[in-house]
């Protein structure tokens, strides 16, 4: 399963320079919420989606490499949407609402390469329904995980997608761009699936931090896990904010340690705009959001 019908996903990838961007174009009438848990985020338009603010609809989510430079890709996406008449109506003007978050990949590829406006446009041109590409594509082109011992001893990260269908027939899906400081683990067994390659095969970053310490602090802000969760169940912005919060549980299950001071962990939650669902529905969606987030992270490294 991929994202729900009406969602289009596109990637622009520079494989040799190891950078890229990913765009998620939702159907009309989609609203958003966001929750930032990492200590070193790089974002655009996250403040728009505070419950009670004027605007709650969203027209694109952009995940990009290039650190802060990569936010330029969102400008290209905004221009692409404006040319097609997509945006929040203010009089005779339509302003696209484009949220973005970035990850740091400048240490593994060409440090002068980052997603720009042209790459943002290219990702939009490539966007299609049912796109479940994973691994080193788009924002995951230069992603790595397990950086306790430096980028040279890290494992490959990437893009991952997962989805579940609820008993009601509705869908909850997640796309993750995984560039974490910590290791990616199997939530059930705790086995490390991808992480820092240490002198012994059983090296675990979380355990090493507790038992060994590290000789030098890792580069600040060079790590992150970015997630976009989408459901077909209508929500209001206040209830949808809780889905974004609960999705972070999936990051904590699959990335250890997670939400550190050097990570920029961000979750966007998307849904059709509507009334607040019942409490049982909110519980089911929250549990599903955490589950698909963890699955998407695992698929990113597999």
pLDDT value of position 219: 58
Q: What is the mean pLDDT of the chain?
A: 93
Residue 144, pLDDT above cutoff 80: yes
Give the pair of three-digit tokens for residue 31: 């609203």
Q: Percentage of the chain with pLDDT > 70?
A: 96
Residue 221, pLDDT above cutoff 80: no
Residue 200, pLDDT above cutoff 80: no
pLDDT value of position 109: 84
CA dihedral sign, ordered 109, 182, 130, 100: negative
Using one digit for the tens of pLDDT, what is the confidence trace for 97-124?
999 999 999 988 889 999 999 999 999 9
Domains and CATH numbers, the chain: 8-301 (3.60.70.12)
Using one digit for the tens of pLDDT, what is the confidence trace for 38-66?
999 999 999 898 888 888 899 999 999 99
Greater model confidence, 49 or 282: 282
């Amino acid at each position: 399963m991929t994202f729900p019908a009406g969602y289009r996903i596109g990637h622009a990838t520079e494989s040799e320079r190891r950078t890229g961007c990913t765009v998620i174009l939702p159907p009309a009438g989609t609203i958003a919420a966001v929750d930032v848990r990492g200590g070193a985020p790089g974002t655009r338009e996250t403040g728009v989606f505070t419950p009670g603010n004027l605007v709650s609809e969203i027209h694109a989510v952009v995940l990009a490499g290039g650190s802060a430079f990569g936010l330029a890709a969102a400008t290209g996406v905004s221009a692409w949407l404006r040319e097609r008449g997509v945006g929040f109506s203010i009089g005779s003007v339509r302003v696209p609402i484009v949220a973005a978050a970035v990850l740091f990949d400048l240490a593994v590829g060409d440090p002068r390469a980052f997603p720009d406006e042209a790459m943002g446009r290219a990702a939009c041109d490539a966007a299609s329904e049912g796109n479940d590409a994973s691994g080193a594509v788009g924002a995951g082109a230069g992603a790595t995980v397990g950086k306790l011992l430096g980028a040279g001893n890290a494992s490959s990260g990437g893009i991952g997608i997962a989805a579940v269908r609820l008993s009601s027939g509705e869908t909850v899906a997640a796309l993750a761009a995984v560039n974490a400081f910590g290791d990616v683990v199997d939530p059930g067994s705790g086995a490390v699936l991808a992480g820092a390659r240490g002198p012994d095969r059983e090296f675990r970053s979380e355990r090493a931090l507790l038992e060994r310490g590290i000789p030098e602090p890792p580069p600040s802000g060079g790590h992150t896990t970015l997630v976009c969760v989408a459901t077909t169940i209508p929500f209001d912005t206040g209830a949808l904010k809780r889905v974004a919060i609960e999705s972070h549980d999936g990051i904590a299950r699959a990335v250890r340690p997670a939400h550190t001071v050097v990570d920029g962990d961000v979750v966007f939650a998307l849904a059709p705009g509507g009334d607040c669902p019942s409490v049982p529905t909110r519980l089911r969606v929250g549990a599903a959001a955490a589950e698909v987030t963890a699955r998407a992270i695992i698929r990113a490294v597999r």
